[in-house]
């Protein structure tokens, strides 16, 4: 949701820079776009982070070879 808000603010600033012919507003829009791009997180949890008792096959193989 935060990403959508940032992107819409960036697009609005870029549109306003063309309407008012002020290039600094477009620069602000680009900065907001970069902030949106670099602060976006991937909230998909991995199998090992779920707190389950089962681990992935690759983790079991790595643990088994070190013994």
pTM: 0.56
Q: Which two tokens stand for residue 64?
A: 């088994």
Cβ–Cβ < 8 Å for 13, 34: no
Summarize pLDDT for 35-46 with one digit per residue, the tens: 888 887 766 666
Please, what is the angle between helix 23-39 and helix 2-20, to 10°?
170
Summarize pLDDT for 9-34 with one digit per residue, the tens: 889 998 988 888 888 989 999 999 88
pLDDT at position 27, please? 92
């Amino acid at each position: 949701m935060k990403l959508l808000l940032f992107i819409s603010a960036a697009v609005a600033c870029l549109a306003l820079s063309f309407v008012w012919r002020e290039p600094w507003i477009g620069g602000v829009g680009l900065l907001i776009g970069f902030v949106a791009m670099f602060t976006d997180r991937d909230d998909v949890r991995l199998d090992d982070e779920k707190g389950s008792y089962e681990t992935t096959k690759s983790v079991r193989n790595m643990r088994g070879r070190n013994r």
